[in-house]
């Protein structure tokens, strides 16, 4: 069909994983008769199409095959099986530095990139001002790109990719490297690009941008296409995959994406259920305290009471934890806080601030505390800390147990205001004739 600009048919990419380098050598020389490698499918039988003018997002956990698809579509990798047909000029922003010669200056790379996509020198000359203005890296344009910071790199790469006016723009996560102003500029360009009826295929872990910009989303898991559909549905399904990451439901999700939406009902409320096993926990979380109390379980719950790492902005969510007491404690304080990825504490509270009496807790008892609030932070990723502390003797502050950087809370926003918080502003506007 004429409006299909990209068609991916039964695409598979298999890597041979060898235990020993010698096995690889033997195999390549044809000296080995038995199979001494494991087959690893980065992609397995993936098919989808993209129509002209669509913005399609690809989401999935780390290693699900997103970059592999983009690399095959752009011709950087060959598939093991299946085919891709592309009906338009592609400009791609894959890994940082792909398509750049490190020894050349930024300017020389602009010409290198442009000619690789098929433009003549004169055509690039005509676009040069736009490219340089967009990149806005000043005199660095004359320096070899090996001296660039990753932010400068992505500025130049995006400036080339977008101003060269491709019919299809392919972006792999790269935008996350730039600062927020540059990101905003790129997203504005995305919108212009969409209005011009051009096609965009992009991979991102930023579910807010996926929800905002995509017409359709393809959800991958472990190299297979789980489902494709409207952004909100796919983001919700992805959240379920994230939650189910450590339990065996993952196979079910792969086989029956639709069914999973209704069928997988975990009894989170059941007291014997361990919540944290459904959370994506930071393997490097920090834990300390004197051991008199122990945070034995915790979970983040959305408005419907489902465990999740992902919260929609302006929706209520609950942080809940269970603390086991190994000694009798009088008036323990329970607390939580959220930090940004740079470590700045953005918000948090505790049972003293909230005037919640906790009384005396006896050895062997388990306390269950929950904090429910509206998510007002902007779209992005935040780190959760939980704690159980107190004051003893002469008002000495004691930490019974604290967990730092437990997990990442992803906030999904379809509107981003200025700064860290959204104050849920309501706007009234009127106009008319001036009254004398």
Ligand X SMILES: Nc1ncnc2c1ncn2[C@@H]1O[C@H](COP(=O)(O)OP(=O)(O)OP(=O)(O)O)[C@@H](O)[C@H]1O
Rounded Cα gap, residues 373 and 421, in angstroms: 14
Looking at 63-71, 134-142, 232-240, 425-433, which segment touches ligand X (CB under 6 A)? Answer: 63-71
Rounded Cα gap, residues 161 and 171, in angstroms: 9
CA-nearest of 53, 43, 48, 50 to 8 is 48
Looking at 55-63, 239-247, 315-323, 428-436, which segment touches ligand X (CB under 6 A)? Answer: 55-63
User: Minimum CB separation from ligand X for residue 27, in Å?
Assistant: 14
User: Minimum CB separation from ligand X for residue 180, in Å?
Assistant: 21
Residue 66 found at the interface with ligand X (CB under 6 A): yes
Contacts of 25 by beta carbon, 8 Å cutoff, 6+ apart: none
379 within 8 A of 343, measured Cβ to Cβ: no
User: Rounded to 5 degrees, what angle do the CA atoms 175, 180, 182 make?
Assistant: 65
Among 65, 79, 166, 387, binds ligand X (CB under 6 A): 65
Residue 410 found at the interface with ligand X (CB under 6 A): no
231 within 8 A of 87, measured Cβ to Cβ: no
325 within 8 A of 343, measured Cβ to Cβ: no
Residue 135 found at the interface with ligand X (CB under 6 A): no
* Dihedral (Cα; 306, 65, 191, 235), 10-degree rounding: -10
Residue 114 found at the interface with ligand X (CB under 6 A): no
User: Minimum CB separation from ligand X for residue 241, in Å?
Assistant: 12
Residue 78 found at the interface with ligand X (CB under 6 A): no
Residue 19 found at the interface with ligand X (CB under 6 A): no
Residue 42 found at the interface with ligand X (CB under 6 A): yes
Among 68, 163, 199, 310, binds ligand X (CB under 6 A): 68
- Output 15 or 288, the one with its CB closest to ligand X: 15
Long-range own/partner contacts, residues 422-430 (CB < 8 A, 24 or more apart): 422/313, 422/314, 422/376, 422/377, 422/378, 423/376, 424/314, 424/376
Contacts of 39 by beta carbon, 8 Å cutoff, 6+ apart: 14, 15, 16, 17
Residue whose beta carbon is closest to ligand X: 42
Among 64, 209, 308, 378, binds ligand X (CB under 6 A): 64
- Output 42 or 90, the one with its CB closest to ligand X: 42
Residue 28 found at the interface with ligand X (CB under 6 A): no
Rounded Cα gap, residues 248 and 307, in angstroms: 16
Residue 79 found at the interface with ligand X (CB under 6 A): no
Among 44, 67, 211, 309, binds ligand X (CB under 6 A): 67
Residue 208 found at the interface with ligand X (CB under 6 A): no
Rounded Cα gap, residues 222 and 216, in angstroms: 20
Looking at 57-65, 125-133, 246-254, 362-370, which segment touches ligand X (CB under 6 A)? Answer: 57-65
Residue 15 found at the interface with ligand X (CB under 6 A): yes
| Chain positions contacting ligand X, by CB under 6 A | 15, 40, 42, 60, 62-68
């Amino acid at each position: 069909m004429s409006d299909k600009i990209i068609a991916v048919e039964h695409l598979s990419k298999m890597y041979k994983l060898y235990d020993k380098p010698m096995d690889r050598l033997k195999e390549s020389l044809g000296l080995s008769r038995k199979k001494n490698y494991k087959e690893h499918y980065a992609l397995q039988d993936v098919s989808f199409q993209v129509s002209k003018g669509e913005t399609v997002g690809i989401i999935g956990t780390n290693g699900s095959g997103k970059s592999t698809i983009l690399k095959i579509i752009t011709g950087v990798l060959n598939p093991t099986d299946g085919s891709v047909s592309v009906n338009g000029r592609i400009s791609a922003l894959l890994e940082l530095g792909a398509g750049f010669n490190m020894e050349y200056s930024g300017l020389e790379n602009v010409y290198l990139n442009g000619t690789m996509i098929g433009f003549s020198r004169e055509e690039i000359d005509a676009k040069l001002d736009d490219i340089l203005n967009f990149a806005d890296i000043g005199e660095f344009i004359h320096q070899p790109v090996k001296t660039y910071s990753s932010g400068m790199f992505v500025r130049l790469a995006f400036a080339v990719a977008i101003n060269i006016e491709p019919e299809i723009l392919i972006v792999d996560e790269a935008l996350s490297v730039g600062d927020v102003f540059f990101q905003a500029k790129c997203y504005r360009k995305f919108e212009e690009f969409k209005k011009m009826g051009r096609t965009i295929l992009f991979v991102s872990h930023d579910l807010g941008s996926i929800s905002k910009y995509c017409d359709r989303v393809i959800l991958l898991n472990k190299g297979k296409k789980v489902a494709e559909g409207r952004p909100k549905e796919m983001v919700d399904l992805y959240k379920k995959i994230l939650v189910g990451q450590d339990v065996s439901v993952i196979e079910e999700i792969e086989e029956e994406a639709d069914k999973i939406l209704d069928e997988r009902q975990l009894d989170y409320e059941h007291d014997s259920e361990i919540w944290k096993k459904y959370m994506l926990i930071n393997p490097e979380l920090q834990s300390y305290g004197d051991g008199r109390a122990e945070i034995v379980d915790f979970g983040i719950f959305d408005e419907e009471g489902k465990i999740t790492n992902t919260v929609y902005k302006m929706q209520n969510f609950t942080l809940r934890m269970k603390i086991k007491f190994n000694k009798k404690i009088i008036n323990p304080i329970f607390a939580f806080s959220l930090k940004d990825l740079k470590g700045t504490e953005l918000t948090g509270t505790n049972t003293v601030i909230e005037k919640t009496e906790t009384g005396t807790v006896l050895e062997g008892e388990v306390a269950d505390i929950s904090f429910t609030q509206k998510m007002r932070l902007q779209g992005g990723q935040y780190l959760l800390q939980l704690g159980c502390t107190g004051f003893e003797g002469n008002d000495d502050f004691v930490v019974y147990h604290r967990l730092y950087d437990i997990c990442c809370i992803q906030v999904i926003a379809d509107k981003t205001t200025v700064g860290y918080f959204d104050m849920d502003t309501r706007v009234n506007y009127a106009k008319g004739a001036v009254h004398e």
